[in-house]
Amino acid sequence: MTLPEPPILVITDRKQARLSLEEVAEAVFAAGGRWLSLREKDLDPASRAALLTRLVALGRHYGATVGVHEDLAAAIAARTEAIHLPAGVSPERARSALGATAIIGGSAHDEEELAALAAAGADYATLSPVFASSSKPGYGPALGIARLARAAVSTPLAVVALGGVELDNAAACIAAGAAGIAVMGGIMAAADPAAVMTGLIRTLGGALAGRRGTGP
DSSP per residue over 28-42, as a string? HHHTT--EEEE--TT
Bridge partners (DSSP) of residue 127 are 108, 161
Distance between CA atoms of 49 and 51, rounded to whole angstroms?
5
Please tell me the total count of domains within the chain: 1
Q: Are 106 and 125 in contact (CB under 8 A)?
A: yes
The Cα 153–Cα 200 span in angstroms is 24
Alpha-carbon torsion 157, 158, 163, 169, what sign?
A: positive
Tens digits of residue pLDDT in 41-82: 999 999 999 999 999 999 999 999 999 999 999 999 999 989
Q: What are phi and psi of 92, to 5 degrees?
A: -60, -45
Report CA-CA distances (Å) from 97 to 44, 73, 195.
22, 9, 36
Does residue 71 belong to any structural domain of this protein? Answer: yes
Angstrom distance (rounded) from CA 61 to CA 90: 31
pTM of the model: 0.95
CATH number (domain holding residue 161): 3.20.20.70
Other C-beta atoms closer than 10 Å to the C-beta of 90 total 15
Q: What type of residue sits at position 121?
A: G
Q: Is 160 a residue whose pLDDT tops 70?
A: yes
* Residues comprising the chain, all counted: 216
Provide the pLDDT for residue 216. Answer: 44
pLDDT bracket for residue 12 (50, 70, 90): very high
* Domain encompassing residue 21: 8-211
162-214 confidence digits (pLDDT tens): 999 999 999 999 999 999 999 999 999 999 999 999 999 999 999 999 887 75
* Residue 33 covered by a domain: yes
In a domain, 1, yes or no: no
d(CA 156, CA 58): 32
Q: Is residue 138 domain-resident?
A: yes
